[in-house]
């Protein structure tokens, strides 16, 4: 179970880093820029969470996240033309990572003694804030604010975790249920193009 | 007094959240995007302050800020066409909030044992950094860096607080004087279009 | 030695602030905007480092950085037309500052008990993150992600520091060697237009 979580976490880190490196490549960043944006995407959410919880950022105690991002950069540079064809693979890794990051954020916040509503916010932030940081660094409007269900899947996962805890489901089972809830919500949302309503600018109504 | 402060704080949070949600709507963000930008505008400045002071972000101990932002989002979605007509109301709320956030930042920093010049910076940050965060998240140039007197009102308020403390004015009266100083400076600056000089690009002089 | 370091640190702060104020002027920010962007450029990297290390930001205990940035703003406003002609001076100050900021970041992280790979990241962040913050605040794509060797000079400096420590070079000498390593790498990279390879967008290959 432990080592399975670790493998999924690495896959998620890898997929998040790839998504950052791809954004960087669309702006013709150099290798260093790609590495930094990839890293920010992969570890940004968890870092903001840890700083808010008053703890040392998680990546400062284990260099595996740095190595994993370097590996993602190498993979990107080497695979080149074959890259776009693998987009379903990246989507799958990304979704698994999203689910696990959310759970990690939930658990770390609960262990720090905060109530569930804070944990749900932190779970969402762990999963989704890296993507916001990525878009800020490449000077684009954050994608997750106007496209599909992404962060909402994290929040729903947090609610599922909460309900499971309330009704006394064992932790190991709660983790598994939450994991699948996030994954299924995200996949269904993409498959059926489910999205939230869009805000309309009130000034536009006047015209 | 206590409950009056709390009501003003909620009005300020509401107005800051509305300003974030309006920016989000101008970029066609969805409801989630509007909520996050509204929240970042409302609690961003105080969160940066708390992290720098080494304390837990204030909103993590009281869910009222989350609820208040949700209420702002609902209000925005429901009022729709009538919204622009209320702009004077939002301006008033926003100015009251700015004044109170500045004072909260000042006091929290002084209590933490820092000198007055740090407190003035933190007061300004509490009032104005949320707006910078809002503009970064919607990918616009921060408004307060090139329009009217806004953050300067916070700094003047901080100086007023400092002078009041130096000459021995009781705290309750100092708070009231500072509050009105910020409000009056901001309203006068907008009414008479007072602004700071603009920096000119030296490279443009050559042409 | 101590006072020499302090003078270089002030020159570096000044040069970093000037670089932020110039960016602000290219967007017609007002004086306040210029001051904030200058300050963010000068102290941003060290602030992020300190927050991650769980320490109070360094500028909160010494007002010299605020004063130095104010002096940079005054210099900029007064020198006006003569400004662009001094660009070699700013480049020199900036490079000296980069080297010293890198060393400060390295040493502070090692003292906090972290391993060398964390220290190298923090050294790089101290030197280069301020420039990223500057570009985010003026809504531009970060320059250091796609131009010349800049952050890489910090990383090389960190590696030099590490090797010196491994082979038992005394600290004072290690600092001097690292300092010149960063300065020389940066100057050579600019002189001979050395840069990293650029990432290419895989979607463009298909066309």
The Cα of C3 is separated from the nearest Cα of chain A by a number of Å equal to: 32
Q: What is the pLDDT of residue C207?
A: 42
Do A202 and B81 count as a contact with CB atoms less than 8 A apart? yes
Q: Which residues of C touch A (CB under 8 A)?
A: 51-54, 114, 117-118, 121, 132, 136, 139-142, 144-147, 151-152, 195-203, 205-206
Question: Which of A195, A196, A201 is closest, CB to CB, to B26?
Answer: A201
Torsion of CA C175, C11, B54, C50, to 10 degrees: -30
Q: Examine residue C204 and state whether it is found in any structural domain, yes or no.
A: no
Cβ-count burial of C141 within 10 angstroms (0-12 exposed, 13-18 middle, 19+ buried)? middle
Q: How many CB atoms neighbour CB A27 within 10 A?
A: 20
- Phi, psi torsion values for C193, nearest 5 degrees: 50, 45
**B79-85: long-range contacts, CB 8 A cutoff, minimum separation 24:** B79/A202, B80/A200, B80/A202, B80/A205, B81/A202, B81/A205, B81/A206, B83/A202, B84/A202, B84/A203, B84/A206
Q: Which domain holds residue C120?
A: 2-194
Top residue of C47, C114, C162, C199 to mutate, by most chain A CBs within 10 Å, is: C199
Average pLDDT, stretch A122-141?
94
Q: Examine residue A201 and state whether it is found in any structural domain, yes or no.
A: no
Give yes or no for a contact between A64 and A10, defined as CB atoms under 8 angstroms apart. Answer: yes
Top residue of A33, A47, A49, A135 to mutate, by most chain C CBs within 10 Å, is: A33
Q: Examine residue C201 and state whether it is found in any structural domain, yes or no.
A: no
pLDDT band at A82 (very low <50, low <70, confident <90, very high): confident
The number of helices, as runs of H, and strands, as runs of E, in chain B is 8, 0
Average model confidence (pLDDT) across chain B: 89
Quick one: which of A42, A49, A44 has its CA closest to A65? Answer: A42
Cβ-count burial of C41 within 10 angstroms (0-12 exposed, 13-18 middle, 19+ buried)? buried
Average pLDDT, stretch B53-57?
94
Q: Examine residue A200 and state whether it is found in any structural domain, yes or no.
A: no
Ranked by mean pLDDT, which of A45-59, B144-158, C72-86 comes out on top?
A45-59
The number of helices, as runs of H, and strands, as runs of E, in chain A is 8, 0
- Return the SS3 of A30: strand
Q: What is the pLDDT of residue A204?
A: 58
Q: What is the pLDDT of residue C194?
A: 86
Handedness of CA C86, C182, C18, C137 (dihedral sign): positive
Give yes or no for a contact between B119 and B174, defined as CB atoms under 8 angstroms apart. Answer: no
Q: How many CB atoms neighbour CB B165 within 10 A?
A: 17
Place of tokens 């300003």: B19
Give yes or no for a contact between C181 and C187, defined as CB atoms under 8 angstroms apart. Answer: no
Average pLDDT, stretch A32-53?
95
**B115-119: long-range contacts, CB 8 A cutoff, minimum separation 24:** B116/B158, B116/B162, B116/B165, B117/C63, B117/C66, B118/C60, B119/B158, B119/B161, B119/B162
Q: Which residues of B touch A144 (CB under 8 A)?
A: 32-33
Average pLDDT, stretch B108-135?
94
Q: Examine residue C152 and state whether it is found in any structural domain, yes or no.
A: yes
Q: Examine residue C86 and state whether it is found in any structural domain, yes or no.
A: yes
pLDDT band at B1 (very low <50, low <70, confident <90, very high): low
Q: What is the pLDDT of residue C3?
A: 78
Please list the ranges in chain C whose pLDDT falls under 70: 1, 80, 84, 148, 202-207
Tokens of C14: 């000044």
What whole-number distance in Å separates Cα of residue B42 and Cα of residue C66? 26
Q: Examine residue C203 and state whether it is found in any structural domain, yes or no.
A: no
Q: What is the pLDDT of residue A94?
A: 85
The Cα of B118 is separated from the nearest Cα of chain C by a number of Å equal to: 6
Quick one: which of C201, C25, B198 has its CA closest to A29? Answer: C201
ipTM of the complex: 0.90
Domain count, chain C: 1
Handedness of CA C154, C155, C156, C157 (dihedral sign): positive
% pLDDT > 70, chain B: 94
Q: Examine residue C58 and state whether it is found in any structural domain, yes or no.
A: yes
Q: What is the pLDDT of residue B4?
A: 78
What whole-number distance in Å separates Cα of residue B114 and Cα of residue B106? 10
Top residue of C18, C24, C30 to mutate, by most chain B CBs within 10 Å, is: C30
Residue B27 has pLDDT above 70, yes or no: yes
Helix %, strand %, coil % of chain B (to 5): 80, 0, 20
What whole-number distance in Å separates Cα of residue B141 and Cα of residue C37? 12
pLDDT band at B203 (very low <50, low <70, confident <90, very high): low
Q: What is the pLDDT of residue A93?
A: 83
- CB contacts < 8 A, A to C, total 88
pLDDT tens string B62-83? 999 999 999 999 999 888 677 7
Residue B206 has pLDDT above 70, yes or no: no
């Amino acid at each position: 179970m432990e080592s399975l979580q670790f493998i999924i976490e690495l896959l998620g880190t890898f997929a998040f880093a790839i998504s950052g490196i791809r954004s960087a490549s669309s702006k013709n960043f150099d290798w260093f820029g790609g590495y930094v944006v990839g890293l920010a995407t992969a570890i940004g959410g968890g870092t903001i969470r840890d700083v808010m919880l008053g703890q040392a950022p998680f990546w400062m105690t284990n260099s595996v996240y740095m190595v994993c991002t370097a590996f993602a950069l190498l993979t990107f540079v080497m695979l080149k033309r074959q890259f776009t064809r693998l987009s379903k693979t990246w989507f799958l890794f990304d979704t698994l990572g999203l689910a696990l990051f959310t759970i990690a954020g939930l658990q770390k916040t609960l262990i720090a003694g905060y109530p569930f509503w804070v944990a749900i916010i932190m779970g969402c932030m762990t999963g989704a804030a890296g993507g916001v940081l990525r878009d800020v660094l490449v000077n684009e409007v954050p994608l997750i604010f106007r496209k599909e269900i992404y962060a909402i899947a994290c929040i729903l996962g947090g609610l599922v975790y909460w309900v499971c805890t309330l009704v006394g489901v064992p932790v190991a089972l709660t983790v598994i249920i939450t994991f699948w809830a996030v994954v299924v919500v995200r996949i269904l949302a993409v498959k059926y193009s489910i999205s939230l309503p869009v805000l309309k600018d009130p000034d536009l109504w006047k015209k």
